[in-house]
Amino acid sequence: MPPTASTVRATGLYRRLQHESRAAAADPVELVQMLYDELEIAVGVLGAMVRQGQRVSATEPAHRARAILIGLDAGLDREAGADVAEALSRVYRSMRRKLDDAVNANSAEGFAELLDGIVTISSAWRQLR
């Protein structure tokens, strides 16, 4: 049985508090990983909300997910990162389009697909450690 939206939200709040306490001492790679963790939570909440029959447009998790994707893109060092930064920028823009499409369609499948992509990239960041 999938978790309820309220369970996912409560878990997200707990994690967010943990992340805030870690952020002060985090290095840049860890900060990016923390953003991915928050993005996973937000998209997971959106998927749970849709599965429970709720509309997700103009909700806090939708705004948060979009803001994180914009922040990840804006934070890329395009000079130092060159081709890698440009590739990541394309990925983030694609994820924003998928997020917007899933929100507009209120699509659990769209959120699941987006979450799969986020988890894939997040796993790659974890391997940098």
Q: Is the pLDDT of residue 120 over 70?
A: yes
* Domain residue limits, the chain: 5-127
Question: How much is the mean pLDDT over the chain?
Answer: 87
**Model pTM?**
0.79
Residue 107 · residue 15 · CB < 8 Å: no
Task: Give 37-60 pLDDT, tens digit per residue.
Answer: 999 999 999 999 999 999 998 899
Tokens, residue 105? 């369609």
Q: What is the mean pLDDT of residues 104-119?
A: 96
| Calpha distance 99→108 (Å, rounded) | 11
Please check whether residue 62 is in contact with residue 47, taking contact to mean a CB–CB distance below 8 angstroms.
no
Give the model's pLDDT for residue 64: 95
> Residue 19 pLDDT more than 60?
no
Fold of 5-127: Four Helix Bundle (Hemerythrin (Met), subunit A) (1.20.120)
